Structure formats: structure tokens, C-alpha cells
Structure 1
Amino acid sequence: MLRFIFYLHLLLCVNSAGGSAPYTPTDYILLDCGASSSSWNTQAEDGRKWFTDERSKFAASNSESASFASTASRQDHSVTQVPYMTARVFRDQFTYSFPVSPGLKFLRFYFYPVQYSSFDGTTSFFSVTANNHLLLNNFSASLTLSVEDGQPASLIKEFMVPCFETEKLNVSFSPSPNTWAFVNGIELVSMPKNMYVNHQENSLTLVGYKVPFDIPDATAFETVFRLNVGGKTVGNVDDTGMFRTWLDDSDYIFGGAVGNTPSRGKNVTIKYSEDTPAYIAPAIIYTTSRTMVVDPEINMNFNLTWNFSVDAGFTYLLRLHFCETQLEVTEEGQRVFDIFINNQTAEHSADVIHWSGGNSIPVYRDYALIVPTEAQSKQTLWLALHPSKDVGSKFADAILNGLEIFRLSKSDGSLAVPNPQPEPAPSPTLPSVGRKKKKTSVSPVMVITITVFSALLALCLIICFLIYKRKVKRVKDSAVSVQKSSWGQLPCPSNSTCATSVSLLPSDLCRRFSIIELKEATLNFDDQFIIGSGGFGNVYRGRIDGGSTTVAIKRLDSSSRQGFREFQTELELLSKLRHVNLVSLIGFCDDHGEMILVYEYMHRGTLRDHLYKTKNPPLPWKRRLEICIGAARGLQYLHAGVKHPIIHRDIKSTNILLDENWVAKVSDFGLSRLGPLFQSHVTTVVKGSVGYVDPEYYRRQQLTEKSDVYSFGVVLFEVLCARQSMIPGLPKDQVNLARWARICYARGTLENIVDPNLMGDISPLCLQKFGALAESCVRDEGTARPMMNDVVWGLEFALQVQEATQRDMDMDTGGDEATVMSSSQTSSLVSKGAAGGGTTTSTEDDNEELFSVSGGKVSESRSTISSVGRSDGDRIKSESVFSEFKNDNGR
């Protein structure tokens, strides 16, 4: 009944603020750990009822001796009786098992580390796991509190734990050696679906990369900071049904520029929307804010800045809450500002009214930030707001209403961080009461020393100040004095933000073209210059710089609004990538709503143009190998040669282009995604081309670098067989090229599906090496596929096998033992092998002695090479195709 009255009170409060009901949790458990069974339920000061865990149905551990109850020896004025004055103490590992509904759950632990009746909580170290996630490791509540401002007496650790694949949440406490574990209270509250994890494509921006970022379902979170910006602390009962606490942000403001905390207009009602429902944050968060000072000239000379101490080696999710409630700001363009996170631009020209649609309508923006591991385990996270320049806004100002910062679990599920190291206490001084002060004298030498030292210190401070001012000016010039872009004219999706700072792209790497220049280059996009087309639009051949340079111009179809994200992604990626096996981006055009990309011109077109359905002559085998090696090196660079791995996601023979010298270059990065850094995969909707999509990615929607390896394996079989990846009219087993090739490889009949134009041109040993490599790339499980490093090595090895064979053939005048066989010889070999009794003999074990391999290079050890028999094929088709592939994670 009390809980019903509490929810009714909360409902009335929220309705009065915004006319939207709070969230009612489906799972709601409050355990007062260690409380007496005689007081089976107790009411805390906030009105919520807690239930004792004594003989609780949630206690899954069988051993009664594993835990005991204890009472705190004293009560600090800052802690409440419930749940802090009793504790459950664990001698050994102890597990609570909570039945829950699917979804993310708030999991909060309450700790009061003091002396208890039977143990000392200040010396307790322990670990906590929730399902498969390590939340705390060798954790000390006492040490954690020792570095907090004001030395608080109690601590709440809040996590969000996923429970999508199970209907139980198992929470285990494990004491460290020679100590005990304890907890005072456990709170479990369910959350609305997609509250912090929204799987809509491109819903999250990774700061510093400007590429989409997804949070996998298996990710756990720890709340690091949750602030009511510009207002007082908001307690859990004033929240929206999830009992979060929003702290005052004053302690985190950097410097003296704290800004203003303006009062809202009278009778302002927060108007929640479908995009921002009432449970996102309570109305009081949106009715308070922090802005800059009144003087616009002063505002343009400083940032509104917060700084936070965070642990390195994790990805962080930052959620910024906004709501314009001041009566002066009612239209778009009146208050426009830039958002910087860790000195990187997270958002240009942020406009709350533009985002929300009007005054008093709340809105939020999410950003992901990678804080890499450095020398210091603790790093400073900076958040700064600055008025945008050159946008014609009425107020040179910025605003923020609320802020949440979460740490995301690593790929192994861990959120654990080291205990903080408390600063050493100052040396104690003897009390002066009752003691006679000793008179001291100061020598002239000491006076001179102090004077010189003070002068030097003052000079250093002046120099540091001048350097700081110069640095601030340089940052301001680059951040707010940039050329105004026409991105606002682009046909953006209605739910996306087009504030990409193209003007910040390196001018020497990415050139901006006017639409007039590109119309002149293509005779106003005349159809006679079309050299290709796709989902993005047509590709034209054009000439720029007075006709001296030929380029490929890819123009988004004006009738489509689906290409903005692809345009943005490709522009952001290719402007920063340079590799001989990647197509170079020369520039772009965004005039008059156009989205056009300009690339180097590839004279020989796509790889597919030279494989099938073409009038081009068939490629010799050695050239095909060289093309495959080039494309593989491009992918290897994307996966392992850049600061953060990139997954192409659309590898196919039409996205491998050939220049006039037959150099292969990977192209079309419109679907590319930033690869996982701390997670094992990227959860995202399936995109790609039919016949090339990794089946594991298709089933699980989990994208990895091995997804590119699978697609490249399909390309390898295209090169070998000169046929499409999918041919619907064929028998079931033959429709999919990757499936059919694996079947033929397993049967030992791969030779039967090889391009007939390669008969007499390909070495049987090279064929076996190449086939084994391609087959390993298209295996169903990603862990069974090689890394791109190994693919490159395997292709280089196959090429050297082919070249060594060719040299041997040139030296062999008789031809009886020639390695390169005619079509009839190959057929004979296949028929003998299929019959099971025919082999071609050699004087020694060919596979072991034909070549010696060292560091990826092959040296010929025999003057002649015997034809490969069936025993060789059987050996190559064994589980370890190459010794280098025994470790699927690479050499």
C-alpha cells in the first residue's frame, strides 16, 4: 500500500511538471542485507520498503557458513539506518539469484565501510560478478571513499547489467585472500527498453572518428557521473521511477568561468515527446541549466568547461541533456554552440530548438569516447561548450541541463578498475597550546634566496599564462573561426544531424569542389560519361584542372535521401586514409544540396570486369594472384595498419578497382564501420551484398574483421572460378559460390570448377594452396578463419609457388615432369584421385622438400618439381591447411 501511495505521489509530481507518467519498473527488489528476520521489512527515510535477506529466496548459495549478519558499531550523521547499519558478511563466495525479465537492469550496491560487531569493513577487499560481467575486482569501499571530496561515509556503486539471454541475474561476492566481503544493501530496478542502448543504425557518434558506433547487447555499464547541471542534487525519489540520483555539478566546473544558472520563465511546463519520454530524466533536470555570462564578447573568449577523472582503457558513453526554457530563446538559430569532448569536436553548431522543435521540449544527445590506456591509470575527461561563430545566432551563448557519463564493459565483460591510491596525509604538527614559541631569525642569505626564488616563480607563471593564452587562441581559431560549410543544405534524414565539420578536413588531403567545376568536368553530368552506377548513384568520368587530370565522380541520386550517411562515412574515412591499395579520395562537393565524391580514376575498371560477362580478355593466373595480393594488403591496412581498425563491410569484386598498371585498390567505403577496440564485435544491422555477407554476421548481427575475411574469400573463389557469387538458376548446392566451392574442396574436386581459361596456366600445388586459403576464409565460424595478415602471407606464398613452378618449367626441356599441366593431364589426375587408387609418384615427400619457408619467403630446393599426387591433396585438406594458420588469431 505504501509503495502504491509512493508511486501515486511520483505520478502527480511528474504530471504537474510535464504531463507524462513515470516509468513503473517490472523488476523492483530492495534487500536490506544483514537485517534481522524479525524486521522482515523496514522503511527507509525516503519512504521505500526494504526486505531482509535473512533466509531470503534470493540467496542461492547452499552453505550457511558462507555468510553471517553484522551490525555497524556507529552511525555517521550522513547515513540512514536502512540499509547502512546492517551488513551481510561473506567468508567465501556467496551468490544471490534474482529472477528478472529480459533487458538491462539497474544494479546498485550500498557500502558503509566502518567497524562492525564482528569484522572491520575498512579492511575488506572483494570482487563482485553479475552473470558474466566482472563488476568489481579486489574492491575496497574504504579506499574508494578516501579520495572522495569531503570524505563521505557511505558509497553507492551503480551498474547496468544486461539480462537478454537469461531470466536470472546471479550476483556473486568473492572475498580476496585473507579478508572478507560485505554489502549493506542491494537494489535491482528494471529499465525501459532502449533507454541507453538503441540499435537504430547510426544512433551514436564516436568522438574523434565521426563514424557510427553501436553498443552490443552484451555490454554492461557503470554509472561514473550523473549531474543536474545548474541545480541542486536530485534524490532518487524525485527521479522518474528508476530511483537515480542526480548530483550538483558545481564540483566539476573547471576554473572560475562557472557561467550562469538562469531561472526558467514562470509557468513553464516541460513538454516530453516520443523521442524524449518522461523517464529519460525528471522535469527538474530540464528546468535548471547552466549557461554562459551575459556579455557576448566575454563568452567568445572562454569555454563553459567541466572536467572529470576517469579510468583509462575503456569506452565511455556521455549523454548530454538539453532544454530551452528561457523565454528569450524560442526560435532556431538564436543559441548555437559547439561541443568539445577531450579537446575533440563532438558536435558543430548545436541548436537545441532545432533538435527538439520548440521551447520547453527536452532533448538529449549521446556520444561515445575511447579513453586509451596510457602511463596513468586515471585520465581527465573534458567537456567544453563554446558559442559557434559565423552562424548569425542572436545569443553568443551555450547551455547544458544535465549530464550522464557511463563506463562500458570491455570485450571480456569486465568493468573492474584498480582501487584509487589515496594521497599521503600531511605531516602532523604539534599543537601550539601550552607551548612557548621559539623565536627564529632569518639570515640575509635566506632572504635573498627566497626573493630570487619568488621572482623566478612569478616569471614562470607569467610564461605559462602567455603559453596558455596562445594555445587557447589557437584552439578557438580552429574551433570557431572555420569557414562556414553548406552542410545545412544537404538532404539529411529527418532524425539525423548534418553538423559534420567538412571544413575541418585537411585541405591537402581533401579538396572541396564547386558544383560548377564538376559540371564542367562532366559536361553537366552527360550520360556519355557514366562509367558505373550503384545504390548511391551514377559514377562519371571527368576531367579537372583544365583537363589535365582524369577523375571518377560519384554523384548521389538527387531523388534519394538514403546516401547521406554513406557520403559522410566515406568522406571522413578516405580523407584520412592513404595506402597504395586503397582508392584515393581527391575531394568532394556539397554545393546546392549535392553530395558528390571525387576519386582518382581507375583506368581498368573493376576486377569483375575482367572475370566474367565481359569482352575483356581473360586474365592470366599470375596477374590474378597479384591483384588478390594487392586487395588483401588494402584490407590488411584497414584492419591492422590504422589507429583504430576499420571493417569495410562491402568487399566484392566490383569494389576492387584496377589502375592502368593493374594495381588493385579497395573502394566504396560507404558502409564501413569502425571495428571493435574493447569489444569482440560491433552489433549492427546487416548490410552488404548478397552472396558476400558473412553468414555469422547475418545470423547474429555481430560484425567483426572476420566478416571482411569471409567476403574476401568469396572474391578469391570468383577469381579462381570466374563466376558470380550467386546464380539462382543452378541446383541448390551450386547457387552460392562459397558453399559450392567448399563442397568441391571437401570432395577433392576443386579442379572441376576452376575457370577453363586457367587450364595449363595454374600449378596444381599453387591451386591447392590457393584453394585451401580461400576455403579457410569462407568457413561458417569466424574464429576458424584466418586474419588478413595471414591471408596476405598465404597469397604471397601461393604466388611464389607459382613463380617457382614457372621457372622450373622453363628449365625443363623434356616436359615429362612439368608441373604446369595441360587440361587432359589435370583431368587424368582428378579421375585417378577420385577413384582412390591412382597416385603420381615422386622420389621424396614433395610437400616437405619442394620449398623451405622462412619469414614468408619461399626458396626453391630442387631443380625439378614432380607433379602433385593425391596424397598431397589429402594432406593439404587436413585441419591445419598451413602450419601458419594453427593460431587463428595470426602470427
Structure 2
Amino acid sequence: MISNALLAICILVSAAVLAEATAAYKPTDLFLINCGSTSDTTDSQSQTWTSDQKQLLTSNLENVSLSSDATYQEDVPQVPYMTARIFPSNVNYSFPVSPGWKYLRLYFYPTRYESGFDAASSFFSVTVNGFTLLKNFSADLTVKASKSKSLIKEFIVPVNNTLNLTFTPSPSSLAFVNGIEIVSMPDRFYSKGGFDNMITNVGSTIDFKIDNTTALETVHRINVGGQMVDEVRDTGMLRRWLPDDDVILSENSGIKPDVPGVKINYTEETPPYVAPEDVYKTYRMMGNVNNPEINLNFNLRWLFKVDAGFLYLVRLHFCETVPDVNGPGQRIFTIFLENQTAMLDMDVIAMSGGSRIPIYLDFSVYVGSESGPRPDLRLDLHPYTDVNPMYYDAILNGVEILKLNGSDGSLAGSQPNPLVSSVQTPNHVKTSIRKGDSHVLVITLAVVGSSIVLAAVLVAVIALLCKKKKKKDFPLHTTRSNPTDSCSPLTAFLCRRFSIFEIKYATNDFDEKLIIGAGGFGSVFGSVYKGRIDGGTTLVAVKRLGISSKQGAKEFKTELEMLSKLRHVHLVSLIGYCYEENEMVLVYEYMPRGTLKDHLYKRNKAVDPPLSWKRRLEICIGAARALQYLHTGAKHPIIHRDIKTTNILLDENYVAKVSDFGLSKVGPTSESQTHVSTVVKGTFGYLDPEYYRRQVLTVKSDVYSFGVVLFEVLCCRLINIENVPQEQSDLIRWVKSNYIGGTLDQIIDPDLAVDITLISLEKFCEIAVRCIQDRGTERPQMNDVVWGLEFTLQLHEAAQKNNEEGTMMDAEDLFSNTDDNCGPVVGEEPKAL
């Protein structure tokens, strides 16, 4: 009897423990606000939504807003979409919450409302606690680019004690919102990384982290191979997981296995709230079990539409449930993001520890603007065969893609292009036509036909006007005609136009005390001011050049065009511009560490210690990657033409960013071209001698200039100096002679004497000397330079480690895996097909 009682107790305890292990997450804070409603309401899933009249607004609702019901209901739930709060001016919601990260979801139904408000004409901005979530946003355009009639925008924001949500209508417009949802989430849910507490920085060796000064936007949350998982079936955070039919390259790609009776075994590293069981039970695999070699000819590929110019956190979910795959080494595959290897040999069983155990991995990847304002973020999976796995296959269960705010605290992206099929006739209008009002149909067709003819005439007139306008020296506008005109045609991809009032306010009317340097507009110089924008929350660098004599206008235009279309982690980010009242101003992200030249020559050693050899190598690698991107990352190569230590800036973490594109030129635009013929411009001492002699400009001209920078980094001395022996007056000649003579240790910066390792010094000089060859054909490509510098850093770290451990490794050992070029021989990197 006692034994039976003990057995029963054990069973109950085990059940309780199991229930606790798989329990849904219970949020500390949960707000469901039905905006514009006069009382609490319940939605179709039995969730209670509260009216926003219960003192959630800091101002009196009647004075600053109005509520209205939607005119008709078209494929949207009653709650919260059929009522809206409409704002003619700034209005702030204030929510008292506990400290931590919160999901913030905004609900929009862009339709016509009984008050006469038409949401199709609504443009507005939304901010929360200093972050810009939406800017000049159109819910109507966004909905028309999708397949639904309503819209949910989900953000993840860090909050201390109060969440302040502000709606700001654009000029001549109104703002609106239908619903607001706030849900707390587990501590460091996204900032800590995947189940292994890591975030892999794809395409970079720099550590990536997310701190509590970062906001995110959920761009995609996908249940791969499965059906939609709604908010109620989620794990307590009310997330929505959509099927991958719209993002998989082909709906027929791979197979979706059906394994009945699967029970997911959550772990401490992957607790139940990470993703619901429905996500881990379903997935896509490549299939072709009988002919696995077929899988080597294609990839599993997904294309996710995103905003250009942002960093993204990509979270991938995996779980093996097929009985045939139950041990490590059986199914191994490579993960590619943006055509870059994110993980070479992904083995789900080996990482998770067994079958039906879920895991998730986090990656960070930057998406540039080469493909336009709304490019695709590309995810590929391909079998990895080097270790002879049992199956040539790959799997994926779920994907989350989250956008990180830029340096200006903004998550706002570009407006999407509406789908033609999404512009549909409302149901009540369709019914009217179906009732036999043929005369109405005839009139409608006549009106539509006339409208098309009139539109064609208008397009022709506008085209002629634009053609004439392009003939002007500087086609930048200074007035805004409507809420959608957020930037000029010149900066149609990424830009922000500031008024001269905003610029003067940011710089205290160009206070000379705020000057932090002289910035170049190519060959024309101006002043750079330290400024503050967005109410003083964002530090910026403001580069100013007056245009009373029109001098520098061409360089200003060039830099604006270049940086509006280019985005890279090692290029200084352009935030915006101002062209008013004879002022030409560019606004950049603020680089607190100044220029590389400052650290080499102008530092106060008592306050600012010299750069270590490792840090100098990292700075050189960053600048080299920027040039590599310019030369190979865009549609046509871009030649910077003014690479020097002054134009390499350092952020607070000493990450190098190349600046000043006033002299940049687009390189050869066809395979038949090898160079660009142009007048010589640049900085004396850094100029490619071949370019100087023949006026023939190529990407190898940048390589030469970069080689000079490498010499400066090594020796910490100017290119030309006086009052020294003649053989030392010219830096390039001096380094080359010592390199040939084997006396490199006598020319390095004295501050590096203890820090530098001989083997890395030799490799570094080998790269630098190759860069400054007189003939461009003898210089390496920037791809080779990047590889060589990265390998130099590896050699330095390996040598340092051996020194610390008291072991010996000679040069032959260290170079055993290298070839005669700059980089190590690691075999051809797997590429997405």
C-alpha cells in the first residue's frame, strides 16, 4: 500500500516537473489596447483588449485626437481593426512597465473611416524612447505590397520603467493606429545569442553584440514547411509564425516530411518559449533519398525582402525528427547568408545531442543597398560532403529575421512597392456591379480610360521637365511638396534631408567651439562640427562648405550620390544632407576616435596610448575591406581616389571606416574597358605614379595609396620629411630599401618595438611593398590584400600565444599552410550555387 502511494507520488512529481519544463512563458507586462474604442472588448481568440481612454495618454484625448469606426470590414477581425485613434498632431502614449525588453506591436487597417478620414492618405512617424520606429510611413502602401488587408508592425525595444510611444503626423497629413500590444519577453532573449550564447558575425572577424541601447524590428518570423502558428498557439509571447510559401525560392523546393507522434524534448539551453512545438515538428529537407547526388546540384534557398543599409539578426531553428537520422555525422550541410559562409559544417544531431532536441543559432549579417532600397536577404543550405556524411541533405525548421537600428537610432526603412494584384475593388462595390448596373460599368470604364490617357500625358510632361532639370548643375530641391517627398531624386535610396534651421540648431549656429576638424569635399576643404540631432539624442559629424563661389559643388554632389547608395560596416555612414541658403552640408555618423592620422601623429601619449600592433592590423583590415567592397561589391567598381590616413576614421571601438568620397569615380563599366581616363586628382604622396604619369585611373590606384597607408601605420612617420638624411626623406623609398636589406626592425614605430612579432612584420611588409609597385599590373587586388592582412593577424596572434606558452615555432611551421600569395591555402571555400 505504501509502495503504491510512493509510486503515485513519484508519478505526480514527474508530471509536475515535465509540465513546468514545457510551460508557456508568462509575460510580466501585457497590454492589449483597442485604440478608439469606448469600452473593453474581446477578440475572436478570447483575449480582452482595453480601451485607450483609460489614462494611457499624457494629454486629454478629446483635445488631441479623435476616434472613428471603419466604414466597412474587409477580411480583418473586428478587434482591434474596426476602430481607430486618429491624430492631427503629436500624441504620446505612456505605459508604466517593468525594466527589460518588450515586444511592441502596432496594428493598422488602412481604410476609410466614418469620420471621413481616409487612411490611404496618411503618412506619419512613430518613435519610442528615443528610437525612430517608422518615418513618413504609409500603412496603405505597405498593405498593398502584401496579400492582406491589415498590418502588424512588431518591434523589440529596451525599456527602463516607462514606454513612451509617440505618433507624429507628416506635414498636411494625419496619423492613426488601430491597436497597440506590449508583451514582455525573457531576459536577454535576443541579445545573448543562440542556444550556444553566440552571435556569429557573418563576413567579419569583429565580435558582434546587442546591448540595451539597441532596438529591433521583426521583419520575418517563419515556420518552415508548416502552417501558420497564431498568437494563441505560441508559447506565451503572442508571436505569429507564418508559412514559408512566399519566401522559399520555389514552392516545390525540397520536401516537407510528415513524422506523426513527434514529441519535442526541450532543454535548458532551448527552453519551450524559444519556439512552439509546431515549428520544431515541421521542416523542409532536400529529399531525393534514392538519388542523393542530385542534391549537390542545387540549394535550398529562401529570399527575404528587407530594407537596405541595415544589420540583421538571423535566428535559425533546427530539430531532427526523422527516425533515420539519429546520430552525428549523418546529415551535414553548409549555411550561407548573403552568399557568405555562415557555418561550414552544420550537424544538428552533433550540436543538439540527439534526435527531437531543438536548437537555434544566431547570425548577424549586413545587407547593403547595391540592389536598391528593398533587396532580398538570401539564405542558402547546401550539403557538405567533405566528411562523407550518410545523407547529402539539409534541413531547416524556422527562421526569424530582425532588423537592428542604425547609428541614428532609426529602424525606419523605405516604402515598399505595391503589388498590382493588391489594388482590389471593395466588396460592397463589387456587389453593386454584380447587381447589373451596366451603365455604371460603362461610365466607370470611360472614366478609367480617360484617366489613363491623362496620366500618360502627365507622365510625358513630367519626363520632359525632368530631362530639362537634369541639365542644371545641381538638381537638389529645398522645399517639400508632399509628405512622401522625403528625399530628392539624387538620394532616392537612403537619405534624410535636413533644413538649415535643423543644422544650425544641431551645431549651435556653427559654433567654432564645436569644430572637430577639417573635412574634405574631395580637393575642397570645409569644417567639420560635432552636432546633435533628434532632440540631442544622437551625436553626428556635420561637414559644412559654403557655396557662394560654387566651388566644391561637384565634389559635394559626388559624395552625396556615392554614400546615398553605398552601405558597408567599414564605410562611414551618411545620415543626411542640407542644401539651403547657399549652404552645402553633409551629416555623418559621429566617429569619436577621430582619424587614423590623429592616432599616428597627434596623440597625447599620457592620455591616449599608442595603437598596439594588433589594433593597427585590425584597422588596416577594416579599411582594406571597405576598398574591397568598393572595388567588387557594387554593380561597377568604384575608385575612391583619395585613400590616406586622414580619410580613415575610427569609431568608439576602433573600427575603421573609410570616408570622403568627393573625388570618387565609377570604374570601368564594361569588360572591354580596363581603366578610366581622367585628370589627376588626389593627395600628393599617396598618388599612384602610373595614374600621375598617364592619367589612367584603375582600382590599382587605390591599392597604391593603401600601400602608402600601410607604410605609415608601420613606421608612424610622414611620407616626406625634411632635415633628415636624403635616403630617409622619402618614406616609400626608405621602407623598400630596408625591406630589401633585411633591416625592417630599424624602421618601425618605436612604440611597436616590444609589441610586434617578427613573422607578422615580414608578412605585413611583403603585402605593403607589393601594393606600391610602380606598375599597376604588379600590384595585388584588394581581395588578396584583405586575405594577406587577415593572415598577418593570425600569424601575429599565433606567435604571441607561443611566446606566452614558452613554446617555439619557427617560420617554416607558421608558413606551412601558405602559398606565395598573401593568404593561406585553405581550399576553395564552398559557395552557394
TM-score by length of 1: 0.48
1:111 corresponds, among 97, 108, 113, to: 108
CA contact (8 A) 1:18 1:270 kept: no
**1:727 aligns to what?**
none
Deviations 1:778-836 (A, max 9, x none): xxxxxxxxxx99x979964699477599x9xxxxxxxxxxxxxxxxxxxxxxxxxxxxx
1:21 corresponds, among 23, 44, 66, to: 23
Deviation for aligned residue 1:73? 0.6
Identity %: 45
Cα distance change, pair 121–315 in 1 and its aligned pair in 2 (3 A): same
Distance in 1 between the 2:44 and 2:332 partners?
43
Distance in 1 between the 2:161 and 2:156 partners?
15
Deviation for aligned residue 1:205? 1.1
Deviations 1:428-461 (A, max 9, x none): 9x99x999xxxxxxxxxxxxxxxxxxxxxxxxxx
Distance in 2 between the 1:308 and 1:237 partners?
25
Deviations 1:706-764 (A, max 9, x none): 99xxxxxxxxxxxxxxxxxxxxxxxxxxxxxxxxxxxxxxxxxxxxxxxxxxxxxxxxx
CA contact (8 A) 2:622 2:656 kept: no
Distance in 2 between the 1:207 and 1:108 partners?
29
Distance in 1 between the 2:139 and 2:86 partners?
14
Deviations 1:625-669 (A, max 9, x none): xx99999976763454432999xxxxxxxxxxxxxxxxxxxxxxx
Deviation for aligned residue 1:704? 4.0
**2:372 aligns to what?**
376
**1:419 aligns to what?**
415
Distance in 2 between the 1:101 and 1:644 partners?
46
Partner AA of 2:285 in structure 1: T
**1:774 aligns to what?**
none
Distance in 2 between the 1:106 and 1:628 partners?
41
Distance in 2 between the 1:120 and 1:628 partners?
59
1:782-821 matched pairs, under 5 angstroms: 796=717, 800=721, 803=724
Partner AA of 1:26 in structure 2: T
**2:538 aligns to what?**
none
Deviations 1:207-249 (A, max 9, x none): 2235532223211111111011111000011111100000011
1:99 corresponds, among 96, 100, 103, to: 96
Cα distance change, pair 110–15 in 1 and its aligned pair in 2 (3 A): farther
Distance in 2 between the 1:13 and 1:62 partners?
52
Structure 2 residue 363 is the aligned partner of structure 1 residue 364? no
**1:173 aligns to what?**
167
**1:519 aligns to what?**
none
**1:259 aligns to what?**
254
1:328-347 matched pairs, under 5 angstroms: 328-347=324-343
1:139 corresponds, among 137, 140, 143, to: 137
Structure 2 residue 644 is the aligned partner of structure 1 residue 642? no
Deviation for aligned residue 1:374? 2.4
CA contact (8 A) 1:230 1:261 kept: yes
Which region of structure 1 is more displaced relative to structure 2, 87-96 or 331-340? Answer: 331-340
2:398 corresponds, among 402, 413, 435, to: 402
Cα distance change, pair 160–628 in 1 and its aligned pair in 2 (3 A): closer
2:350 corresponds, among 333, 350, 354, to: 354
Partner AA of 2:42 in structure 1: Q
Deviation for aligned residue 1:134? 0.3
Distance in 2 between the 1:323 and 1:257 partners?
21
Deviations 1:827-863 (A, max 9, x none): xxxxxxxxxxxxxxxxxxxxxxxxxxxxxxxxxxxxx
Deviations 1:534-553 (A, max 9, x none): xxxxxxxxxxxxxxxxxxxx
CA contact (8 A) 1:628 1:795 kept: no
**1:187 aligns to what?**
181
> What secondary structure does 2:246 align onto?
helix
Cα distance change, pair 117–272 in 1 and its aligned pair in 2 (3 A): same
Partner AA of 1:23 in structure 2: Y
> What secondary structure does 2:355 align onto?
coil
Distance in 2 between the 1:414 and 1:344 partners?
26
Distance in 1 between the 2:63 and 2:181 partners?
24
**2:489 aligns to what?**
none
Cα distance change, pair 28–173 in 1 and its aligned pair in 2 (3 A): same
Deviation for aligned residue 1:81? 1.1
Cα distance change, pair 156–284 in 1 and its aligned pair in 2 (3 A): same
**1:319 aligns to what?**
315
Cα distance change, pair 276–634 in 1 and its aligned pair in 2 (3 A): closer
Distance in 2 between the 1:799 and 1:14 partners?
78
Partner AA of 2:43 in structure 1: A
Distance in 2 between the 1:107 and 1:424 partners?
30
Cα distance change, pair 173–394 in 1 and its aligned pair in 2 (3 A): same
> What secondary structure does 2:375 align onto?
strand
Deviation for aligned residue 1:104? 1.2
1:149-228 matched pairs, under 5 angstroms: 150=147, 152-163=148-159, 166-198=160-192, 203-228=198-223
Partner AA of 2:190 in structure 1: Y
**2:383 aligns to what?**
387
Distance in 2 between the 1:67 and 1:393 partners?
63
Query: Structure 1: any 5+ residue segments left out of the alignment?
Result: 1-11, 436-576, 578-626, 647-674, 682-702, 708-787, 808-891
Partner AA of 1:24 in structure 2: K
CA contact (8 A) 2:193 2:362 kept: no
Structure 2 residue 24 is the aligned partner of structure 1 residue 42? no
Deviation for aligned residue 1:255? 2.8
Distance in 1 between the 2:423 and 2:135 partners?
32
Cα distance change, pair 426–141 in 1 and its aligned pair in 2 (3 A): closer
Deviations 1:378-404 (A, max 9, x none): 112111111111322222211111111
Deviation for aligned residue 1:335? 1.1
Distance in 2 between the 1:241 and 1:259 partners?
31
Query: Structure 2: any 5+ residue segments left out of the alignment?
Result: 1-13, 425-432, 442-569, 571-609, 630-647, 658-708, 729-833
Deviations 1:243-295 (A, max 9, x none): 000001112111364211111243x3211111111110011111111111233
CA contact (8 A) 1:338 1:388 kept: yes
**2:297 aligns to what?**
301
**1:240 aligns to what?**
235
Cα distance change, pair 792–61 in 1 and its aligned pair in 2 (3 A): farther
Deviations 1:392-429 (A, max 9, x none): 2222211111111111111111000121233568999x
CA contact (8 A) 2:649 2:656 kept: no
Deviation for aligned residue 1:312? 0.8
CA contact (8 A) 1:202 1:213 kept: no
Cα distance change, pair 332–793 in 1 and its aligned pair in 2 (3 A): closer
2:124 corresponds, among 123, 126, 137, to: 126
- CA-based RMSD of the aligned residues comes to 4.1
Cα distance change, pair 427–377 in 1 and its aligned pair in 2 (3 A): closer
1:57 corresponds, among 45, 48, 55, to: 55
TM-score by length of 2: 0.51
- What number of residue pairs does the alignment pair up? 465
**2:274 aligns to what?**
280
Partner AA of 2:180 in structure 1: I
Deviation for aligned residue 1:61? 3.2
Deviations 1:51-84 (A, max 9, x none): 0011x222123574221111111111x2111111
Cα distance change, pair 177–271 in 1 and its aligned pair in 2 (3 A): same
CA contact (8 A) 1:15 1:21 kept: no
CA contact (8 A) 1:14 1:20 kept: no
CA contact (8 A) 2:125 2:170 kept: yes
**2:508 aligns to what?**
none
**1:290 aligns to what?**
284
CA contact (8 A) 1:286 1:402 kept: yes
Which region of structure 1 is more displaced relative to structure 2, 131-140 or 341-350? Answer: 341-350
Partner AA of 2:30 in structure 1: Y
Deviations 1:534-583 (A, max 9, x none): xxxxxxxxxxxxxxxxxxxxxxxxxxxxxxxxxxxxxxxxxxx9xxxxxx
